[in-house]
Every structure is written in C-alpha cells, then in structure tokens.
Amino acid sequence: MIIGAMLVSGMISAHTIEPKLEAYGDLVKATYYHENGKIAQTGFFKDGKLEGQWVAYDANGVKKSVGEYSNGEKTGKWVFFGENNLAEVNYKSNKIESVKNWKAEALANRN
C-alpha cells in the first residue's frame, strides 16, 4: 500500500509544471501553469511582492480574473469573469471598497 501511494504521488509530481520566471528590469515576470500545460496565472513581482497586473485563467485557457497589485496588496479595479456573470471589485489597501455584478443578459444588452 505504501509503494502504491509513493507511485501515485510520483506520478502527480511528475505532471507538475514549474513556473517560468523572467527578469524585466526591476521586476520578475512569473507565469504559472495548470497540470495540462495551459497558463494558470501571469503577473509580476517586485522585491518579492506581487506587483502590477495579474491575470488568471482556468484549465481551459479561459480568462477568470484581471487585477492590479501594488507592493503586494490588491488595489484598484479587479474583474472576475464567471460563466454567466461578471463581477467588478474595487480594492483599496487590500480591502474591498465596492462590488458590482452583471448577469450575462445585462452584458449582452449593453452592446
């Protein structure tokens, strides 16, 4: 049983894709991946803290969220994409200030 557990854990870790880190001036661009190889998140670090725009995707490559970090804290407008809705969350000093939600029907009628 122990050997079986070791084999399964070895197979799981074998499918883990290491993040890609690239230097961009005083920033480090990070790209994280889902097990299927699709991008999970992209964004930047500065001095070891989250910085600038971060974008998250689901395992099928569909964008799930876009937002900004400043000195490791969520700031400004973040957009979260759901299957049938969209949420806009405004952050200040890493705390939620306001939330707006839209249903798919309302979004379709805006065009």
CATH of the domain at 35: 2.20.110.10
Residue corresponding to tokens 């122990």: 2
Please answer whether residues 80 and 87 qualify as being in contact, where contact means their C-beta atoms are separated by less than 8 angstroms: yes
Residue 49: inside a domain, yes or no? yes
pLDDT digits (tens, 9 = 90+) for 43-72: 999 999 999 999 999 999 999 999 999 999
Residue 3: inside a domain, yes or no? no
Is 19's pLDDT higher than 80?
Answer: yes
Residue 4: inside a domain, yes or no? no
Q: Which two tokens stand for residue 29?
A: 């661009």
Residue 80: inside a domain, yes or no? yes
Residue 37: inside a domain, yes or no? yes
Residue 11: inside a domain, yes or no? no
Task: Tell me how many domains the chain contains.
Answer: 1
Residue 52 domain boundaries: 18-109
**Cα(90)–Cα(78) distance, rounded to whole angstroms?**
6
**Cα(52)–Cα(30) distance, rounded to whole angstroms?**
12
Residue 61: inside a domain, yes or no? yes
Please answer whether residues 57 and 41 qualify as being in contact, where contact means their C-beta atoms are separated by less than 8 angstroms: yes
Q: Report pLDDT for 5.
A: 34
Residue 1: inside a domain, yes or no? no
Q: pTM of the predicted model, to two decimals?
A: 0.77
